[in-house]
Structure 1
Amino acid sequence: METIYALSSAGGRAGVAVLRISGPATSAAIKALTGREVPPPRVATLRRISDPANGAALDRALVIWFAGPQSFTGEDVAEFHVHGGRAVVDGVLGALGRQPGLRAANPGEFTRRAFENGKLDLTEAEGLADLIDAETEAQRRQALRQMEGALGRIYEGWRARLIRVLAYAEAEIDFADEDIPADLMAQLGPEIEALANEIRAHLDDGRRGERLRDGVEVAIVGPPNVGKSSLLNRLAGREAAIVSDEAGTTRDVLEVRLDLGGIPVTLADTAGLREAVGAIEKEGIRRALARAESADLRLVMVAAKPEGGIEGDFDLARPGDIRIVNKADMGGGADEALAISALTGEGVEALVAVLTERVTVLFGASEHPVVTRARHREGLEACAGELDRAFAGLRDDISGELVAEDLRLAARSLGRITGRVDVEDLLDVVFRDFCIGK
């Protein structure tokens, strides 16, 4: 096993940088760079760091030693907490790179070793990645819960029950001549059905966890010149979109990221919907319609007319959309619509409150662990389908071998989520998105 090293904190100038080492040559690296034996485990010790090649002093740093298997990766691990200047970091990394048996870590390799050494299952590793990437409070809570094993415990619990059912099914097949309960296979039906129902109830979450992890998509749609770009700028707090009295100014989908009640929201300003007057505007309108169709939530906007009434209509609105009448400072309005002025800010605070409440109700963090990735959903859907086939096989009295095979496939689908079986082809996918040093 090679020993790996990497900068584990963010790159760039900082007060402190953390360099991490993991593997069998870790203790030798500490001795080489400090000229002393390893410190007591888990005790931060101040040491002078020097380049073994020429004895040049590099820094005075805190050195922490984690003897395996009581470490993040399960191997011998060390951390050097050095000053965060680029010259210091480059000097220490260079010295480590010249030590026998050490090499620079690949992205996610520390976490992959933690998985391979039984310190994390795949869902916990993914939770760690999500925690690193979390931008909002709700994302942090969800990721922390997953990293601490909430999802893994549910899936492993189902898998344990499924393996027990499979064991009984195979017992009837392999030991049919032995003294085992009659019709053992038929007695497994209620447990198989209960498992399938529990998994489907878990899947029936409106994709809440995936939306919270990836962000809720909100589109502003409506005819030209009703103030969509002005509203985007007002909510973003900056000039993110060009605002003009000329119709068709917005030719493409413009996006800003917002934090509404701890939920990440991507707010999209779309081209005004009208009969296009050119190829570029036609393409913009096509993209606007596609974005409006795929959005999780839509703000359908029209504008008030000074003489009363509204410019445009709400024909595009569908159930659940938030209807807005802009330019409320000019007069006019519509029943069952929020009156705002993107120019003066009138009514915008109320709109933000309504939008925050809506996304929180639909996609806010759940008290119970929820599906957070498409990979999990695919595995659970496959498992539920295989359980359905096994249950149908029992009902139709088909071969016990075929029922057992469906149960084996179901167990394999669950095991692939947490990494218990057949995961070699998944490892690169799971860990490649980690930053180096994690």
Structure 2
Amino acid sequence: MKPDTIFALATPPGRSGVAVIRISGPLTPAIVGSAVSGNPPAPRRAALRNIVDQAGALIDQALVLLFPAPASFTGEDCAEFQVHGGPAVIEAVLDRIMELGGRPAEAGEFTRRAFEHGKLDLTEAEGLADLIEAETSGQREQALSQMTGALRSLYDGWRTQLISIMAAIEGEIDFPDEEGVPDHLARTALLEIEALGAEMNRHLDDNHRGEKIRTGFDVAIIGPPNAGKSSLLNALAKRDAAIVTDIPGTTRDVVEVRLVVGGFAVTLADTAGLRESNDRVEQEGVRRALTRADSADLVVAVLDGHEEWNQEMTPVLGKSDLVVLNKADLGLNVTLPDSAPAALRLSIAEGDGLAELEQWLEAEVRARLGRREMPALSRARHRRNVERAREALSRAAASLGQPELAGEDLRMAIQSLESLTGRVDIEDVLGEVFSRFCVGK
């Protein structure tokens, strides 16, 4: 049974200078032949043609491109109409394509067909989705790396190594009585399994860097009331994102601001002031502040520099966090405990020290999210499957004395890696991945 021929507007809806309409499927040549007057353009050559309705009346003049299978994005016969971007034009062209047998594409259906025809694997498809959504240079670079096969190359390399190790273990099963063969194969396999397991551990031990590049690096601003937390958020955001008053406890809930720092997405969260209170609303705000600080990638503690250290912050702060001593223009009298992290002096009211804080924050984000030798895990799905492969490797190493069991564990490790790239049948995963694409891609 032939697949449907699908079509979609690949550019955002609304008015524009040019709108791109994509078609893919077996009816593509016939649709182009009927909708376009004159001879069809040569493959992969843009040509100006009239798009006409059933009676031959002009709908629009457009650039038309043909991409015969298999040398197309989806691996099927494809075409593009680059039409004028008025809503009436777009609607008329889409109606004409549907009239000729096309079906509106679902979200991600073009990319899914590309995957099904072997044009890209699942990690590359996810990289393409990330590239479409990228808002920062860090997100763009990571998405491009993944879309061009960085993760696929890594996982396929591991899969090849596992197949080689499994072949050695199968040799032990096939030649159990050959002198020296089982011991030699077991020793060789153990060394290779341990080396590959160590490489997987390095890949996993990245503090979730890839996920943070995709979703954003989370910075929680905490401290006592009226220390200047909301003022700091506004200063870094360059706008009045949070309400600032001299009334203690003004901030009751978490106020978030999205920034780009050093080419990476960063979420700044202003939180309620940490203090004892009988006000149930303020108590809830303090609870949320502590919860946010506990889950944040970085905590910035803001203190009034001429007041005492707030003991509630001691268990919240780690050595890689930051203390900001605000109101330095009024003098600094606070004594920091030995457990406190690095500190910067600041006067938000005067603007003194703000540039140094911004530089520190950028350096810290770059240090934690900057490029590494090994490509980053960008999704929980990736991490989960690599963890399963590593666990199966550990079991295989422990059961080398029973080669049948070790071989089965290695097959499970291989299957986990194949799930990452989409080599095995994982229909539920495919539906989840491609449903997140925009229509037309």
TM-score (normalised: structure 2): 0.92
Match of 2:15 in 1: 13
Match of 1:165 in 2: 165
Contact 1:30 1:37 in 2 (8 A): no
Q: CA deviation at 1:337?
A: 2.4
Q: Structure 1 residue 431 and structure 2 residue 430: aligned?
A: no
Amino acid at match of 2:405: L
Q: CA deviation at 1:179?
A: 8.0
- What is the count of residue pairs matched by the alignment? 429
> What are the equivalent positions in structure 2 for 1:38-437 lying under 5 Å apart?
38-52=40-54, 54-100=55-101, 102-173=102-173, 175-176=174-175, 182-183=181-182, 185-186=185-186, 187-305=188-306, 309=307, 312=310, 315=314, 316-332=316-332, 337-394=343-400, 397-398=401-402, 400-437=403-440
Is 105-114 or 78-87 further displaced after alignment?
78-87
Q: CA deviation at 1:381?
A: 0.8
Amino acid at match of 2:40: V
Find the aligned partners of 1:65 and 1:159 in 2 and give their Cα distance.
37
Amino acid at match of 1:119: K
Q: CA deviation at 1:312?
A: 4.4
Deviations 1:144-171 (A, max 9, x none): 0110001100100110111122233334
Contact 1:67 1:75 in 2 (8 A): yes
Question: In 2 relative to 1, CA 403–317 (structure 1 residues): closer, same or farther, beyond 3 Å?
Answer: closer
Q: Which runs of 5+ in 1 are unaligned?
A: none
Q: CA deviation at 1:3?
A: 0.6
Q: CA deviation at 1:60?
A: 1.2
Deviations 1:33-54 (A, max 9, x none): 11234311111111112222x4
Is 121-130 or 34-43 further displaced after alignment?
34-43
Contact 2:175 2:181 in 1 (8 A): no
Amino acid at match of 1:23: G
Find the aligned partners of 1:225 and 1:323 in 2 and give their Cα distance.
15
Contact 2:203 2:374 in 1 (8 A): no
Find the aligned partners of 1:128 and 1:344 in 2 and give their Cα distance.
45
Find the aligned partners of 1:368 and 1:91 in 2 and give their Cα distance.
49
Find the aligned partners of 1:255 and 1:333 in 2 and give their Cα distance.
31
Matched residue SS, 2:378: coil
Match of 1:27 in 2: 29
Amino acid at match of 1:383: A
Contact 2:37 2:49 in 1 (8 A): no
Match of 2:339 in 1: none
Question: In 2 relative to 1, CA 343–97 (structure 1 residues): closer, same or farther, beyond 3 Å?
Answer: farther
Contact 2:9 2:22 in 1 (8 A): yes
Find the aligned partners of 1:368 and 1:192 in 2 and give their Cα distance.
19
Q: Which runs of 5+ in 2 are unaligned?
A: 337-341
Find the aligned partners of 1:393 and 1:406 in 2 and give their Cα distance.
9
Deviations 1:316-353 (A, max 9, x none): 43211111022233333657522223333221111010
Contact 1:105 1:437 in 2 (8 A): yes
Contact 2:8 2:21 in 1 (8 A): yes
Find the aligned partners of 2:431 and 2:366 in 1 and give their Cα distance.
34
Matched residue SS, 2:399: helix
Find the aligned partners of 1:393 and 1:311 in 2 and give their Cα distance.
55
Contact 1:301 1:324 in 2 (8 A): yes
Find the aligned partners of 2:65 and 2:350 in 1 and give their Cα distance.
56
Deviations 1:24-79 (A, max 9, x none): 11111111211234311111111112222x44422211111111110111111111
Matched residue SS, 1:337: strand
Amino acid at match of 2:118: G
CA RMSD of aligned residues (A): 2.0
Find the aligned partners of 2:223 and 2:258 in 1 and give their Cα distance.
20
Q: CA deviation at 1:423?
A: 2.1
Question: In 2 relative to 1, CA 311–406 (structure 1 residues): closer, same or farther, beyond 3 Å?
Answer: closer
Deviations 1:152-207 (A, max 9, x none): 0010011011112223333443x448989821652422222221111112212222
Matched residue SS, 1:59: strand
Find the aligned partners of 1:344 and 1:34 in 2 and give their Cα distance.
67
Find the aligned partners of 1:95 and 1:343 in 2 and give their Cα distance.
63
TM-score (normalised: structure 1): 0.93
Amino acid at match of 1:373: R
Is 214-223 or 368-377 further displaced after alignment?
368-377
Q: CA deviation at 1:304?
A: 3.2
